[in-house]
Amino acid sequence: MDEARLPALPWPGFSPERAFVLPLPAARMATPFGDACEFDGVRLRRKAEFHATVLSQEMSRAAAAGLGVARLRALYESLSWRPRRSGRYALLHKAGSGDAGTPDSWSLIEYLDLPAMHAFRDELAGQLGQAFADPVPHVTHYVRGEPNGIGVPHRRALAALLVREVAP
């Protein structure tokens, strides 16, 4: 895949009040699916902003409380954050609650090869607990429902949300 290796990602900043994300350059996020795509009768729209979530909001709060921002930054900067796009896509679905305020959500994600995320979260898991283990490095390209996509904090969540793999 062209431009599979993305540039190194500097410290993006951190706040325990929000998820810890790595911004990815929109100009390097082209897919073979166009501006919109449809799978299994569900039409999804292309996102304008792209990121890889390293820690959910809940995990960010726990990491800040357990290690502090300075130690998190030092750990982040000790690793080489160079994502590689895989060209492997997956369709995810999260059922709404059934009331009018929570509709079904769909996402089309691309898996990323991001060894630094595994090392970062493994270290946090060793120091703070297993909740940090087993990340799923990915970027969300298309959505329906949730505008930022469906949260996938670990492999168990992915297994529960996965509809199917999608070929380009």
- Edge-to-edge strand ranges of the sheet holding 36-39: 36-39, 42-46, 138-144, 105-113, 84-94, 162-166
Residues of the chain with pLDDT under 50: 1-2
Please report the pLDDT score of residue 76 as a whole number. Answer: 96
pTM of the predicted protein model:
0.92
4: helix, strand or coil: coil
User: What single string gives the DSSP state of each residue in 54-116?
Assistant: EE-HHHHHHHHHHH-HHHHHHHHHTS----EEEEEEEEEEE---SSTT---EEEEEEEEE-HH
CA pseudo-torsion sign 51, 55, 58, 63: negative
User: 36 is written with which tokens?
Assistant: 């919109």
Please report the pLDDT score of residue 31 as a whole number. Answer: 95
Chain-centroid distance of CA 118 in Å reads: 13
Residue 146: how many other CB atoms lie within 10 Å: 17
Q: Is the Cβ–Cβ distance between 145 and 106 less than 8 Å? A: yes
Please report the pLDDT score of residue 8 as a whole number. Answer: 86
Q: Is the Cβ–Cβ distance between 104 and 96 less than 8 Å? A: yes
Please report the pLDDT score of residue 1 as a whole number. Answer: 45
User: 132 is written with which tokens?
Assistant: 């940090």
